[in-house]
Chains A and B, each alone.
Chain A
Amino acid sequence: MTRSDRSVGTLIGIIPIALIIGVWQAIAASGLAPPSLLPAPAAVFARLVQQLGSPAYLDHVATTLFRLFTGFAIAVVIGVTIGLAATGSRAVEGVVRPLVRVLAPVPKIALYPAFILTLGFENASKIALVVADAAFPILLATHQGTSAVEPKLAWSARAAGTSPLLCLVTVVLPAALPSVLTGCRIALVISCIVVFLAEMITSTDGLGHLLVRASRSFQTIDTISLLGLLLNVGFNALRARLLIGFPEER
């Protein structure tokens, strides 16, 4: 794609979003729907800006982000470790593969009551849910990525006297980084979603709780959308830095 093609693409992409906001504005302005059911977009955005300035609101955002990142970090550690171990040892793979086969399609949100009962209503149960949901994509991506690494790389390292463990960590893992990061990106979106759900179901703070309380106005949804976009952009920037030297992927 050349540069002008890309800017044309961006312009086309704005059309449906503008269209939706336009239709929304038109419906709100025509009075077809009462303002309590569908406030005008301008009112919603004004509300968003106003809320981003209020400390109490930012407090809720901070709570949500804390849960999100704690859970995500634990999931990355667990997922990468187990995925790598499964590649490194056949015995571990023999145990992990059937377990994942059984556990991956289970809706993790159904485990939430169990987490509430064992870990309480506070942060721990929500973080546990995020870990349960986010660990699987990272684990699978790490395992698939590291299994596909050119075996000659590992053989050379072994021939040069590297121990199997060191070889796994210093050669195979960096070579599989693109795949691992793809898994992390999926997991980040999942963590984002799961945190809100957990907060919607039982919580006294965080964005999900605000959403239930203020479900009549749309302000929290656009914060969530904004947050998701920012996380995505941030992650892409990080990914581009980490992957310097790898051939460009589509």
Chain B
Amino acid sequence: MERLASIPGLPPILACAGLLATWEIAARLLAIDGLPPASAALAQVPAILGDPEALLNIAASLRRMAVGFALGVAFAVPIGLMMGRSQYVAAFFNPLLMIIYPVPKAALMPIIMLWLGVGDASKTLVIFLGVTLPVIYHSYQGARAVEERMLWSAAAMGMGPLARLTHIVLPAALPEILVGCRTGLVLALITMVTSEMITRQTGVGNILFNSLDMAQYDTVYAMIVIIGGLGFALDAAFEALRSRLVRWAEPSHDLVVGTT
């Protein structure tokens, strides 16, 4: 057991195999229309990935997600850092964030669509909103925990407030910020799928629900597998990047969970 678990990448693969086997057995035992066996769904995956139109849809989804994520991080990190360093900035933003937090960002979709149309702009904006909150929160926590003495030393050596923020607070808070970015990435994926489910125009969520409407259940499950794989791959890639960037810091949480 211990030896097996020490091979990198093996436990998740075993977990996947176990899940697929359970699914296959359950589908064969229950034998209902709505739950095709895993083998039938997996057989559809190459067909979807080989279809240029579906690939185009997936690429469009990923592009929106990347843009929304990048804008969200660029916007949220400075706000979070300032909140962490100044009590007044924190008091200014905290109640506002508390009110916005429980609102599902995708619920704003109908209103945003009225203002910006059904195109890329509204979907990117929703993803941006979804990414911003966790990144602000974690940057805030990270900046608050910075060692005061380092800031005093820098101030004593004549460093200005802005330089202190970018040269000391930012690197010191980086591990925590990256935890926030990881949550944000999972969230961006969730918001992306949800916004496409609601607008039903292009993208991954659209393929998923269109095939549900057309009763192509194999395709529905194949899309679920693809989206799940996408989530896992993005998370693993970000984790690899994170451990390279902040090799000095121990990961504080080894798993993160997103909110929608």
Our verdict on whether A and B bind, yes or no, reads yes
Give the shortest distance, in Å, between B35 (CB) and chain A (any CB). 5
Given contacts A197-B194, A212-B110, contact A105 B232 (CB under 8 A): yes
Interface contact A13-B95, CB-CB below 8 Å: yes
> CB < 8 Å: which of A13, A189, A200, A212 contacts B259?
A189
Does A140 lie within 8 Å of B255, measured CB to CB? yes
B residues near A10, Cβ cutoff 8 Å: 91, 95
CB within 8 Å for A200 and B96 given contacts A98-B15, A105-B234: no
Which segment, of B45-53, B148-156, B220-228, faces chain A?
A: B220-228
- Specify which chain B residues have a CB less than 8 angstroms from the CB of A8 in the assembled complex: 91
Evaluate contact between B103 and A211: CB separation under 8 angstroms.
no
Q: Does A41 sit within 8 A of B, measured CB to CB?
A: no
In the complex where A105-B186, A107-B193 touch, is A97 in contact with B11 (Cβ < 8 A)? yes
- Asked if residues A113 and B260 are in contact (CB atoms below 8 Å), the reply is no
At the interface, yes or no: A72 with Cβ under 8 Å from chain B? no
Contact yes or no, B15 A196, CB < 8 A: no
On chain B, the residues within 8 Å of A12 by CB distance are 88, 91-92
**In the complex the two chains form, what is the Cα distance from A117 to B257 in whole Å?**
26
Contacts A109-B194, A197-B194; A98 near B104 (Cβ below 8 A):
no
Contact A224 B257 (CB under 8 A): no
Scan B18-30; emit 1 where CB is below 8 A from any A CB, else 0.
1100000000000
Interface residues of A in 88-116 (CB under 8 A from B): 90-91, 94, 97-111, 113-114, 116
- Give bound CA distance, A192 to B104, whole Å: 8
Measured between beta carbons, the chain B residues less than 8 angstroms from A211 are 107, 110
| Known contacts A117-B34, A117-B217, A228-B102; A190 and B12 CB within 8 A of each other | no
Q: Is B98 an interface residue (CB 8 A)?
A: yes
Task: Name the B residues within 8 Å of A116 (CB-CB).
Answer: 34, 212
Is the CB–CB distance between B12 and A102 below 8 Å?
yes
Chain B residues touching A, majority SS: helix
B221 touches A114 (CB 8 A): yes
Cβ distance B108 to chain A, nearest Cβ, rounded Å: 7
Q: Is the CB of A201 within 8 A of B93?
A: no
CA distance A13 to B94 in the complex (A): 7
Q: Check B231 against A106 for contact (C-beta < 8 Å).
A: yes
- Candidates B16, B104, B194; contact of A102 at CB < 8 Å: B16
Contact of B107 among A103, A197, A232 (CB under 8 A): A197
Say how far B176's CB is from chain A's closest CB, in angstroms: 14
* CA A16 to CA B223, docked complex, whole Å: 42
Any B CB within 8 A of the CB of A145:
no
Least distance between A21 CB and chain B CB atoms (Å): 11
A111 to B98, CA, bound (A): 28
**CB-CB < 8 A to A201: which residues of B?**
197-198, 209
Could you tell me the distance in whole angstroms from the C-beta of A145 to the nearest C-beta in chain B?
12
In whole Å, how far is A113's beta carbon from the nearest beta carbon of chain B? 5
Q: Is residue A231 contacting chain B, with contact meaning CB distance below 8 A?
A: yes
In the complex, A103 Cα to B229 Cα: how many Å? Answer: 10
Which one of A136, A137, A216, A232 lies within 8 Å of B114 (CB-CB)? A216
B194 CB contacts on chain A under 8 angstroms: 109, 197
Q: Out of B18, B111, B220, B234, which one reaches A114, CB within 8 Å?
A: B220
| Interface set, chain B 124-168, CB cutoff 8 A to A | none
Report if A35 contacts B (CB, 8 A).
no
Chain B neighbourhood of A192, CB < 8 A: 102, 104
B253 is an interface residue with CB less than 8 A from chain A: yes
B16 surroundings in chain A (CB, below 8 A): 102
Cβ–Cβ contact B259 & A186, under 8 A: yes
Judging by beta carbons under 8 Å apart, are A193 and B104 in contact? yes
B14 at the interface (CB under 8 A from A): yes
Max chain B CB contacts within 10 Å: which of A14, A102, A228, A232?
Answer: A102
Residue among A14, A91, A108 with most chain B CB within 10 A = A108
Question: B residues within 8 A CB of A196?
Answer: 104, 107
A71 to B: closest C-beta gap in Å: 13
**Extra pairs beyond A212-B110, A224-B107 (8, CB < 8 Å):** A99-B19, A106-B228, A110-B193, A116-B212, A221-B103, A225-B100, A228-B99, A228-B101
8 closest A-B pairs by beta carbon, nearest first, are A228-B102, A117-B34, A215-B110, A98-B11, A13-B95, A9-B91, A98-B15, A105-B235
